[in-house]
Chains A and B, each alone.
Chain A
Amino acid sequence: MTQLAGSQARPQRDARGTWQERLLTWRTAVRLGWAVESNWADPVLFLIYSIAKPIASVLMLVVMLQVISNGAASTADLGFVIVGSALWAFVMGGIAGLAWSILDDRERYRMLRYLAILPGSLSVILLGRGTARLLIAGMGSVITLVVACLITGVPIDIGRIDWIMLLVCMAIGLVAVIALGTLMAAVCMQTRQDSWSYPEAVAGALFLLVGAVFPIVVLPQVVQWVGLLMPLTWWIEGIRRAVLPDAASGIGGVGSVWTDVTGTLAPDQGVILVVSMATTAMATLVAFGGYRWSERRARERGLLDRTTGS
């Protein structure tokens, strides 16, 4: 009897084979995402779009600061705002990236129905598409940070940066941003075409809670508690501490919930890392559960090939 196919063609794979297949799927999706995002656009327009957006956001806050201080804002205050809003570009890209992948593939290219029946996991494909947008957003964040520091004269001393803290926080933050993006993808799977603006709306609302550009001590106490439960609050605090060791804390301070509960003015690096990991783990679990429920419901109700318009 002739053997029709080799062992690799068997539908059931071992754990190693499954992971290899997922890696291949993810890699292909990243390449596709990058092609869709960059190669199909005019390079100049792409550059403007990737950089002008975050730089304009930072400049808006810098002008607000300068207007109120009559042009005499301190470099510490400017640094606080610049680091927070440069990081926010990354958050926006991450949250929107995964959600827009759903809308792109369902409403514009109408490929989601075909992706859903591929042997590879749909979530891995979406993660790959989202990764391309994360890369673009990350590039935008770094350029924004450099340009804004050059324009405003905020000194970032490379020698004083705590690189280990920076790298660990970035790794944790990346997981947190992907978790939030996955959750938004789950939401967009259930909603109509007009949900293009939903990820930005969510990111905008989180902007209020996490102390990205102002210390959360100015928020009402209940809202401060909500902010403390967000992984992004701790991520931004950690990055800010690593890049600008002298910057004010976005979490603690006289009158803050943190200081009232712990008796300390600001959390130290160890606490930031531990809480950051714990809140990220929580967010990841919620995102994983939410996505699985959403995908199952979308398959059952035929939402993956539904197109809408208004």
Chain B
Amino acid sequence: MTATLRIPEPFHPTSSPMEAARWTRRRKLATDLRAVTGRAYPRVIGLIREPSWLLFEILLPFLTTSAFVFVYRALQAPPEYVGFAVLGGAMTAFWLNVIWMMAAQLYWEKDQGNLDIYFTAPVSLMSVLFGMAIGGLFSSCLRAAVVLGVGTVLYDVVFTVEQWGLLIGVFLLTLGALYGLGMVLASLFLLFGREAWHLTQAMQEPVYFVSGLNFPVGRLGMLGFLAIALIPLAVGLDAIRQLAFAGSAAHVGTPSPEVEALILVAMVVVSLALARAMIHRLEWLARSEGRLTVRGG
């Protein structure tokens, strides 16, 4: 009886090791796409396997958003401000995901011993970062949708949208810019070592404040302008607010949504280019000096 050896699918017989090392463009792309799927998989499947996140990452954050709604109610604020708080609450889902599950992720991976595997695997690290982003987006979108949907119904938020196309475009650009920033920060935080934890913490409330999470960012004057120029959350949220509450008297002192969309485009391009350059630099450092993958540093 003869046993048949089953060769796994990615295996391609070659005549020499040199030939094996020569990958076609198509093969590289296919491997990178598999890496994207592979890295996104644990994030999506993890949510299904442990449902506690439904309570802690959807219901409870909704209550936090509600607290700001009730602050406005206690102050007898105009109704659109309640909408601002709900919209801000929805967008925090993406920001938290970017700083906790993108920016700090490579540092966690290093602590867990996975980073060495990433650097030695024959895939682009950008595909690993893309996979992290896509997997993270799944839960963030769900959380944002629940906060927005339930908040709108429960607190009678009335949206006045005149340019749906631009609104959707700005939203997608905001996500692109946010996750692009997350990719840049992932490399930076890895270099900062242990301080990544403190940096992640320091990037929550202070960023919420300068981004005008619950109020029009234009009210912060020069600080607000700086935030619009530098922080995707600030510019994206302001543009979305202007488009979702068209005609509201609250929007003063910030550029028009069209200009803010252009700022977002620039942010997407710059952040992706920067992320690519930084990840290559990291890869080089890891391979040549071998220090990046040492735990505890």
Which residues of A are interface residues toward B (Cβ below 8 A)?
Answer: 40-42, 45-46, 48-49, 52-54, 56-57, 59-61, 63-69, 107-108, 187, 190-198, 201-202, 204-205, 207-209, 212-215, 218-219, 307-310
Contacts and interface: CB of A to CB of B under 8 A. Distances in A.
A140 to B, nearest CB: 11
Contact of A40 (B70, B194, B201, B202): B194
A49 B201 contact: yes
Contact of B56 (A108, A193, A201): A201
Given A53-B201, A60-B205, A215 B46 contact: no
B30 interface: no
B72 interface: yes
B214 A204 contact: no
Given A49-B201, A196-B100, A204 B71 contact: no
Interface stretch (B12-20, B59-67, B229-237, B279-287): B59-67
Contacts, number: 135
Contact of A191 (B52, B76, B208): B52
A57 B67 CA distance: 13
Contact of B108 (A48, A49, A66, A309): A309
Contact of A202 (B42, B56, B219): B56
Given A46-B198, A52-B202, A64 B72 contact: yes
Contacts of B77: 68
Contacts of A212: 67
Contacts of A52: 202, 205-206
Interface string B190-231: 000011001101101110111001111001100000000000
Interface string B79-116: 00100000000000000100011000000110110100
Q: Is the interface of A mostly helix, strand, loop or mixed?
A: helix
A267 B215 CA distance: 33
B251 interface: no
B74 A59 contact: no
Contacts of A56: 205-206, 208-210
A153 to B, nearest CB: 18
A219 B42 CA distance: 39
Interface string B37-66: 000001100100010110011011101101
A61 B77 CA distance: 13
Contacts of A307: 112
A59 B208 CA distance: 10
B63 A204 contact: yes
B204 A63 contact: no
A193 B101 CA distance: 11
B61 A201 contact: yes
Contacts of B50: 191-192
Given A191-B52, A204-B61, A214-B70, A53 B204 contact: yes
Contact of B57 (A54, A187, A201): A201
A61 B204 CA distance: 15
A299 B60 CA distance: 28
Contact of A69 (B75, B100, B194, B210): B75
Instruction: Identify which of A41, A61, A65, A201 gathers the most chain B CB atoms within 10 Å of its CB.
Output: A201
Instruction: Identify which of B57, B64, B96, B208 gathers the most chain A CB atoms within 10 Å of its CB.
Output: B64
A219 B73 CA distance: 9
Contacts of B151: none
B201 A194 contact: no
